[in-house]
Amino acid sequence: MMMLSTQIVYVKMMLQVCFSNLHSIVLSTLELVFSWVGVNAGHGRVCVAHKAAEAVKTPTPTSVNYHFTRQCNYKCGFCFHTAKTSFVLPVEEAKRGLRLLKESGMEKINFSGGEPFLQERGDFVGKLVQFCKEDLQIPSVSIVSNGSLIRDSWFRKYGEYLDILAISCDSFDEDTNKLIGRTQGRKSHVDNLYKVRSWCKEYKVAFKINSVINTFNLEEDMREQILELSPVRWKVFQCLVIEGENAGDDALREAEGFVISDQQFQDFLDRHRDITCLVPESNEKMRDSYLILDEYMRFLDCREGRKDPSNSILDIGVENAIQFSGFDEKMFLKRGGKYVWSKADMRLEW
Ligand code: SF4
């Protein structure tokens, strides 16, 4: 059994390398055809050739989510990026990968996990945030965190390099947070959220909230608290099932009891329709409109309802690895993936 899975992984790697080479050959051939058509034909035929080129066009990694760790101090029952490994790249390797992404057109980087502030008590993510803003000059640098481990001292050291901080909060009721698993010991998740919000204001970082709507919070009315916290964006996700992460035999979580129907999700959205910063994300929109890099800097393809990894961008480069990301650039634009994402361009009232 072990031998068979090793062989499958080997065959998959070989296929990826072959495909990468094949892709380059197809592109070069098309380039030759274009130059010939450009010289020998009228405008109409050049357009046909361009359409053919678009069919094999490599997507640009404009906005990337780098889940550099899978470790977390919370135990949310629906978590879909679970602690299957404890691996984290050395910081210099992570920087090398980020530079490759920048050279391929990355304009927004989001650091996620796991819990990003767990590694080196927040210094690891701090160093990457500073590197992306100062050295690579990435227009938008953001973090998604559960907020429980962030300190005032972190903002003093790294706050100026961070554009957006998103904190996950599914409920303003502590008992509901406990039922979901969004909690650690006796600490209050909601108190932390308010504390982080005030630091964002003090250190001029745009504040965002992410909520996952599931069976435990679908009846909640969050309007009052959201208006009080006044985030620049409130992302509202429908609880998502991913095979191998929160469903199936080898998963570390069992999300089945958290899943809600499309209609239940719509009812929650309708109740909050007056909140102008609300950005809804249904399962359909989520599956293939994100570019996700795991802890080895491999793109994860979620199209089949599970996470199929590419080879690492550190081994085969961004252009080759991205062919296996399942990324749908059109869906990314359709879900509003491109927005004002640099704090320099936001008209924020701190
Ligand atoms: S806080 Fe995020 S990473 Fe941690 S368990 Fe919850 S969903 Fe997973």
In this predicted structure, what is the pLDDT of residue 56? 54
CB-count burial class (<10 Å; 0-12, 13-18, 19+) for 308: middle
Cβ–ligand 1 contact at 113 (below 6 Å)? yes
Instruction: Give 62-81 pLDDT, tens digit per residue.
Output: 999 999 999 999 999 999 88
Q: Where are the beta strands (DSSP E) in the chain?
A: 63-67, 108-112, 140-145, 164-168, 206-213, 233-238, 278-281, 291-293, 298-301, 308-312
How high is the pLDDT of residue 324? 84
Q: Is 79 a catalytic residue?
A: yes
The answer, yes or no, to whether residue 283 has pLDDT greater than 90, is no
Cβ of residue 101 lying under 6 Å from some atom of ligand 1: no
Cβ of 84 closer than 6 Å to ligand 1, yes or no, is no
| Digit-coded pLDDT (tens) for 217-267 | 999 999 999 999 999 999 999 998 888 878 887 888 888 889 999 999 999
Atom 3 of ligand 1: nearest residue by CA position: 114
Average pLDDT over residues 199-204: 97
CB 269 within 8 A of CB 236: yes
Ligand 1 centroid from CA 98, angstroms: 24
Would the CB of 79 count as within 6 Å of ligand 1? yes
Q: Give the residue, by CA position, lying nearest to ligand 1 atom 7.
A: 79
Per-residue pLDDT at 350 = 52
Q: Give the Cα separation of 315 and 61 in Å (integer).
A: 17
CATH of 58-341, one of 1.10.10.10, 1.20.1250.20, 3.20.20.70, 3.30.390.10: 3.20.20.70
Q: How much distance in Å is there from the Cα of 178 to the middle of ligand 1?
A: 13
pLDDT, tens digit, 9 for 90 and up, residues 29-42: 444 443 333 333 33
Which stretch of DSSP H or E encloses residue 107? none
- Cβ(192) to ligand 1 under 6 A? no
Of 148, 146, 143, 183, which Cα lies nearest the Cα of 163? 143
Q: Which of 65, 79, 196 to mutate to test the pocket of ligand 1 (most atoms within 8 A of CB)?
A: 79
Give the pLDDT score at 345: 75
Catalytic one of 18, 47, 76, 132? 76
Q: How many angstroms is it from 114 CA to the middle of ligand 1?
A: 6
Q: Which of helix, strand or coil describes residue 299?
A: strand
Instruction: Report if pTM > 0.85.
Output: no
Instruction: Please say if 76 is a catalytic residue.
Output: yes
Q: What is the pLDDT of residue 81?
A: 87
What residues contact 276, with CB distance under 8 A and at least 6 apart? none
pLDDT over threshold 80, residue 51 = no
How many other CB atoms are there within 10 angstroms of residue 8's CB atom? 10
In this prediction, residue 44 has a pLDDT band, given cuts at 50, 70 and 90, of very low
Say how many Å lie between the CA of residue 48 and the centre of ligand 1: 47
Q: In the structure, what pLDDT confidence band is assigned to residue 287 with cuts at 50, 70 and 90? A: low
Q: Which residue has the higher pLDDT, 199 or 19?
A: 199
Predicted confidence (pLDDT) per residue in 237-247, tens digit:
999 888 887 88
pLDDT at 349: 56
Q: Is 146 in the pocket of ligand 1 (CB under 6 A)?
A: yes
Going by CA atoms, what residue is nearest to atom 6 of ligand 1?
Answer: 76
CA of 72 to the centre of ligand 1 (A): 6
- The pLDDT of residue 14 is 52
- The pLDDT of 330-339, averaged and rounded, is 73
Of 168, 165, 252, 284, the residue nearest 217 (C-alpha): 168
Beta partners for residue 210, in sequence order: 168, 235
